[in-house]
Amino acid sequence: MKHLISAGDLGRDDALLILDTAEELARVSERSIKKLPTLRGRTVVNLFFEDSTRTRISFEAAAKRLSADVINFSAKGSSVSKGESLKDTALTLEAMGADAVVIRHGASGAPHRLANWVRGSVVNAGDGTHEHPTQALLDAFSMRRRLGRLEGLKVAVVGDILHSRVARSNVLLLSALGAEVTLVAPPTLLPVAVENWPCQVSYDLDSVLPKSDVVMMLRVQLERQNAAFFPSAREYSRRYGLDRDRVAKLHDDAIVMHPGPMNRGMEISAEVADSPRSTIVEQVANGVTVRMAVLYLLLGGAIGGDVQ
Ligand code: NCD
Task: Delimit the domains of the chain by residue range.
Answer: 7-132+284-298, 133-279
Q: How far apart are the C-alpha atoms of 188 and 200, rounded to whole Å? A: 16
Q: How far apart are the C-alpha atoms of 207 and 24, rounded to whole Å? A: 38
Residues 12/291, Cβ–Cβ less than 8 Å: no
Task: For residue 54, indicate whether it is catalytic.
Answer: yes
Tens digits of residue pLDDT in 55-114: 999 999 999 999 999 999 887 766 776 667 888 888 888 888 899 999 999 999 999 999
Please state the rounded mean pLDDT for residues 114-127.
95
- pLDDT tops 80 at residue 299: yes
> Hey, is 142 helix, strand or coil?
helix
- Fold of domain 133-279: Rossmann fold (3.40.50)
Amino acid letter for position 154: K
Q: How far apart are the C-alpha atoms of 303 and 154, rounded to whole Å? A: 32
Residues 272/216, Cβ–Cβ less than 8 Å: no
**Terminal alpha carbon distance of the chain:** 24
Tens digits of residue pLDDT in 26-66: 988 788 888 999 999 999 999 999 988 899 999 999 999 99
Return the closest-CA partner of residue 44 out of 81, 83, 71: 71
- Which ligand 1 atom minimizes the distance to the CA of 52? 3
Name the strand (E) or helix (H) holding 138: helix 133-147
- Which ligand 1 atom minimizes the distance to the CA of 260? 8
133-147 vs 12-29: helix axis angle to the nearest 10? Answer: 70
Q: Whose CA is nearest to atom 12 of ligand 1?
A: 219
Residues in the chain: 308
- Fold of domain 7-132+284-298: Rossmann fold (3.40.50)
Return the closest-CA partner of residue 99 out of 75, 128, 123: 123
Which one of 55, 268, 290 would you pick to mutate in the ligand 1 pocket, going by the greatest count of ligand atoms within 8 A of its CB? 55
**Residue 291 assigned as binding residue:** no
Give yes or no for residue 291 CB within 6 A of ligand 1.
no
**What's the whole-model pTM score?**
0.94
Residues 194/161, Cβ–Cβ less than 8 Å: yes
- Which ligand 1 atom minimizes the distance to the CA of 160? 12
Task: For residue 82, indicate whether it is catalytic.
Answer: yes
Q: What pLDDT is recorded for position 307?
A: 43
Please state the rounded mean pLDDT for residues 183-191.
97
Q: What pLDDT is recorded for position 306?
A: 45
CA-CA distances (angstroms) from residue 218 to 182, 199, 268?
A: 13, 17, 9
Q: Do domains 7-132+284-298 and 133-279 have the same CATH topology?
A: yes
Q: Whose CA is nearest to atom 7 of ligand 1?
A: 55
Q: What pLDDT is recorded for position 223?
A: 85
What residues contact 227, with CB distance under 8 A and at least 6 apart?
A: none
